[in-house]
Chain A
Amino acid sequence: MTTFALPSYDEATSRYEPVIGLETHVELGTNTKMFCGCPTEFGAEPNTQVCPVCLALPGALPVANRAAIEATIRIGLALNCSIAEWCRFARKNYFYPDMPKNFQTSQYDEPLCVDGYVDVEVDGETVRIGIERVHLEEDTGKTLHVGGATGRIHGATESLVDYNRAGIPLVEIVTKPVPGIGAKAPEVAKAYVAELRDILRSLNVSDVRMEQGSLRCDVNTSLNLPGAEWGTRTETKNVNSLRSVERAVRSEIIRQAGLLDAGGSILQETRHFQEDTGDTRPGRSKETATDYRYFPEPDLVPMAPDPAWVAELKAALPELPRVKRARLREEWGVSELDMQSIVNAGAVELIEQTIAAGASAAGARKWWLGELARRANESGQELSMVGATPAQVAELQGLVDAGKINDKLARSVLEGVLAGEGDPAAVMAARGLEVVSDTGALTAAVDDAIAANPDIAAKIRDGKVAAAGALVGAVMKATRGQADAKTVRDLILERLS
């Protein structure tokens, strides 16, 4: 392989215009597989969720899962697609051991949903991504490569195949090419996948877990000189996190720019994203171009979704993330930029639920974007997995609002909640963190502080109110922080007036 100098990203995007396209595969969360009644649960013992149909035993026949068809139509509707009046499944023929029939039942030139779009926000700007098609197919089994050093296919001496995943309904969502986004291409790609994930989650059709492979992404990238025709595209597979989507586009732009700079030409090929290095590497080149020999699946009859059914599904779509965000922004009184950070932090639902549990919008936001976001960042967890529930956060803020704890104490209470010590009120009680609100005790502490600091007391009596801070500090110290600073200050001024 020839080597060539890689430009910086800024150099690359100053000379070339990228065009990207994304193909996303979503495993549907149906109870059963696409064409048989086997369950779809993740993590079962190998080859225990299989039957004659999904094992492709001789003679077995498929019957399509209504729930999967319905979910696909709902996805299409949420992505502003038209739903086909009539379409068929097709066989995509190629040999691979994780595909029991050695053909994949898919859709070819008659997808269920076509021609939609989705709008995403990048840097406060709206980018419209065209949706080419949404179609339904089936997943493959899983192969374990044995004998190699890395567990990868390369260098393995044999492989072990588990067909539990084979036949799980898979929806493929293909964008139209997205030109004209310049250096923002990686961010647009990431924002699109994030938006898609949120839409799918709101539809409740998939658990959209990229780390478990229920949402998988292939990214197409090409570069062209300004004003010139689009370049040859590469397809990068194995892009399995939002961050990787961004990195994959970025590194492919840099690689292609370097190659073009050196006078090379881009090969239309499949490349694989390398999680560790962040770059892409070519797949093994094929001796001949793949010919999938698609033809209409004779074992499944055509689909002709009843327009009344489609209209019903459309009417029943949930509020989609973009609309919901606009509404919440209004309700919570936050700026577009703040909303963006809430979305990026994965905090929309959490804040919403915290508010529903009784907290103010500001209070809910303060915890989720502040202390909790910090902790999630530190531990590399999703915010929702950090260990506090919206109800607990609402309760915590309620204690603050009631004056039972101050912010500093509240952080200690939260620490206890995250450590699994119980709900906020219980932690507060157990740790003895409640603000000293017994005025008798407080008055005594204030009197002690005045007596111990006659100079300061004199200054206050002379009207130098600012000096009260020192006495407040002394009282707080004496009560181990469990007093409300404002109450203490008021008391001091009252005694010395």
Chain B
Amino acid sequence: MTDVTSLTAAQIAGLVASGEASAAEVTRAHLDRIAAVDDRVHAFLHVDTQGAVQAAEAVDRRRAAGEELGPLAGVPIAVKDVLTTRGVPTTAASKILEGWRPPYDSTVVERLRAAGTVMLGKTNMDEFAMGSSTEYSAYGPTNNPWDLGRIPGGSGGGSAAALAAYEAPLAIGTDTGGSIRQPGAVTGTVGAKPTYGGTSRYGLIAFSSSLDTPGPCARTVEDTALLHSVIAGHDPRDSTSIPQPVPDVVAAARLGATGDLTGVRLGIVSEFNGEGAEPGVMAAFRESIEALTKLGAEVVEVSCPNFQYALPAYYLIAPSEASSNLARFDGVRYGLRAGDDGQRSLEEVMSMTREAGFGAEVKRRIIIGTYALSSGYYDAYYGQAQKVRTLITRDFESAFERVDVLVSPTTPFVAFPFGSRTADPYQMYLSDLYTIPTNLYGGPAISVPCGLSEGLPVGFQIMAPTMADDRMYRVGAALESAVGTFTPPAL
């Protein structure tokens, strides 16, 4: 048998379903791969060897008993450490949750288990999903398999790197301002942010409640769509979950893979004119547009004048909600407690706990958010940011009257070396320039690898209207059929 870790999820599921491979041996192969490379990549914060083997054996037993298996049964998966997993450590890459074992599963994880996927472990990320490089993980950064001296993107760098390093064929991420797509882009993998409300947030440790969206990551568009269809759909435990059927993203991906985009209108955002972006990124983007045009797509330029305010609005809304969401980490019910010497008051112990448990970026954002919500500043900051959100939504809506999807590079720059953007937090924020507008609007978007710049992957972003997730899969699969997939040098 060829190395099973090099296969796609769809291929693995086929082998397991036909009995050509057992879920247990597939799982073992991936665990071996993790053991072999993860000391260099550091994609995982926790590998659940025992849980994975048991889950795989359960799939094999079900198959032996003649039970119907789902489309991803027996396929290993890596889960970002921001989703709760019953009995399995969940830290959001923060010291404040070190050692916490949740008593409940997030809805996404529950659906993954029900589908027979095999969870290998929990992946590294920027602490509480705040960052674009995993350098803000309290447990050390993840290294990009394309160049171990460079960032794998963030916050979901662990999930993306696990895919790029062939440690897992599937992974789960969460996207608040680009945390699925940007890591996908810089690791040469696929990452999709579904429509907000299309996937459940129940059990997702909240960063910014009105923006956070769990989503699928894989090495191919079809695998991403398969995973999307497993985790998406209405959840009564999440009040913001949309009670509508999920578009058939798998069919859309397969349609796109035929390489025909006749009649599909792509919109290029004129405001994303390449200013501040690396030339190599813009070159790869333009070549991709040409490739898509050859497949029959029509390309028009559309103006979204308020996109320029997306980054400022995001960096008010997200920290504001975060300042409130992270208030629960106080050393009373779970997680770290610091400074409790029997003398200090609760107030002091809480403040010392939070000081010791949170990293610098988390503290910065809590302070910004607290500021933006303060009386006297609310209207100028948080209130204004929410109005900008309305304007950006209108930009999207009017654009989608003219085009089926909007396209752009996923990020302005390829994977950068560690330490190059940590000194100035705002420089780090610019990584999300192209991904943020979608989060504010709530629509879906996907990043698909489209080429290399100086030997490093470039991502192509496709943004679709809310609840039209299928469109981005069609265009993404078509692009993939034209440009192929990208494999990093051997580790």
Query: Is there any pair of Cβ atoms, one from A and one from B, under 8 angstroms apart in the complex?
Result: yes
Using known A-B contacts A52-B103, A56-B328, determine if residue A291 contacts B375 with beta carbons closer than 8 Å: yes
How does the 8 Å CB contact mask read for B110-149 relative to A, with 1 for contact and 0 for none? Answer: 0000000000000000000000000000000000000000
**Closest chain B residue, CB of each to CB of A94:** B327
Partner among A57, A95, A102 whose Cβ is within 8 Å of the Cβ of B103: A57
Q: Which residues of A (22-64) have their CB < 8 Å from a CB of B?
A: 52, 55-64
Is B455 an interface residue when CB atoms closer than 8 A count as contact? no
Q: Which residues of A (132-189) have their CB < 8 Å from a CB of B?
A: 159, 161
Q: How many residues of A contact B (CB 8 A)?
A: 29
Q: Tell me which residues across on chain B come within 8 A of A206, comparing CB atoms.
A: none
Q: Is the CB of B327 within 8 A of A103?
A: yes
Q: Is the CB of A58 within 8 A of B328?
A: yes
**Closest chain B residue, CB of each to CB of A92:** B324
Partner among A61, A64, A102, A298 whose Cβ is within 8 Å of the Cβ of B321: A298
**Closest chain B residue, CB of each to CB of A98:** B332
Q: Is the CB of A102 within 8 A of B327?
A: yes
Q: Is the CB of B346 within 8 A of A59?
A: no
Q: Tell me which residues across on chain B come within 8 A of A293, comparing CB atoms.
A: 323-324, 370, 373-375, 378
Whole-angstrom CA separation of A63 from B235 in the bound complex: 11
Q: Is the CB of B373 within 8 A of A62?
A: no
Is A407 an interface residue when CB atoms closer than 8 A count as contact? no
Q: Tell me which residues across on chain B come within 8 A of A346, comparing CB atoms.
A: none
Q: Which residues of A (283-308) have their CB < 8 Å from a CB of B?
A: 291, 293-295, 298-301
Chain B min CB distance to A155 (Å): 13
Is A97 an interface residue when CB atoms closer than 8 A count as contact? yes
Using known A-B contacts A63-B237, A95-B330, A102-B330, determine if residue A58 contacts B324 with beta carbons closer than 8 Å: no
Whole-angstrom CA separation of A59 from B109 in the bound complex: 12
Q: Tell me which residues across on chain B come within 8 A of A95, comparing CB atoms.
A: 327, 330, 347, 350
Q: Tell me which residues across on chain B come within 8 A of A55, comparing CB atoms.
A: 333
Chain B min CB distance to A84 (Å): 18
**Closest chain B residue, CB of each to CB of A56:** B328
Q: Is the CB of B240 within 8 A of A301?
A: yes
Q: Tell me which residues across on chain A come within 8 A of B323, comparing CB atoms.
A: 93, 293
**Closest chain B residue, CB of each to CB of A300:** B239
Whole-angstrom CA separation of A64 from B237 in the bound complex: 10
Is B320 an interface residue when CB atoms closer than 8 A count as contact? yes
Main secondary structure of the interface of B (DSSP, over half): loop
Interface-facing stretch out of B204-212, B414-422, B466-474: B204-212
**Closest chain A residue, CB of each to CB of B317:** A298
Q: Is the CB of B374 within 8 A of A161?
A: no
Most chain B Cβ neighbours within 10 Å, of A57, A64, A100, A293: A293
Is A209 an interface residue when CB atoms closer than 8 A count as contact? no
Q: Is the CB of A61 within 8 A of B238?
A: yes
Is A197 an interface residue when CB atoms closer than 8 A count as contact? no
Q: Is the CB of A298 within 8 A of B106?
A: no
Most chain A Cβ neighbours within 10 Å, of B97, B202, B203, B239: B239
Q: Is the CB of B330 within 8 A of A291?
A: no
Is A91 an interface residue when CB atoms closer than 8 A count as contact? yes
Chain A min CB distance to B66 (Å): 36
Is A375 an interface residue when CB atoms closer than 8 A count as contact? no
Q: Tell me which residues across on chain B come within 8 A of A62, comparing CB atoms.
A: 239
Q: Is the CB of A295 within 8 A of B324?
A: yes
Whole-angstrom CA separation of A95 from B354 in the bound complex: 12
Q: Is the CB of B202 within 8 A of A60?
A: yes
Q: Is the CB of A59 within 8 A of B206?
A: yes
Q: Is the CB of B104 within 8 A of A57?
A: yes
Using known A-B contacts A63-B236, A64-B239, A102-B327, determine if residue A295 contacts B92 with beta carbons closer than 8 Å: no
Is A322 an interface residue when CB atoms closer than 8 A count as contact? no
Q: Which residues of B (314-357) have their CB < 8 Å from a CB of A?
A: 320-321, 323-324, 327-330, 332-334, 346-347, 350
**Closest chain B residue, CB of each to CB of A293:** B373
Is A101 an interface residue when CB atoms closer than 8 A count as contact? yes
Could you name 24 residue pairs across A and B whose Cβ atoms are closer than 8 Å?
A: A52-B103, A56-B333, A57-B102, A58-B84, A58-B90, A58-B206, A59-B83, A59-B102, A59-B203, A59-B204, A61-B202, A61-B239, A63-B237, A63-B238, A63-B239, A93-B327, A93-B373, A100-B333, A101-B327, A102-B327, A102-B328, A102-B330, A103-B327, A299-B240
B contacts, CB < 8 Å to A: 83-84, 90, 92, 97, 100, 102-104, 106, 201-206, 208-210, 236-240, 320-321, 323-324, 327-330, 332-334, 346-347, 350, 370, 373-375, 378, 382
By Cβ-Cβ distance, the 7 closest A-B pairs, closest first, are: A102-B327, A293-B373, A298-B209, A298-B210, A59-B203, A58-B205, A56-B328
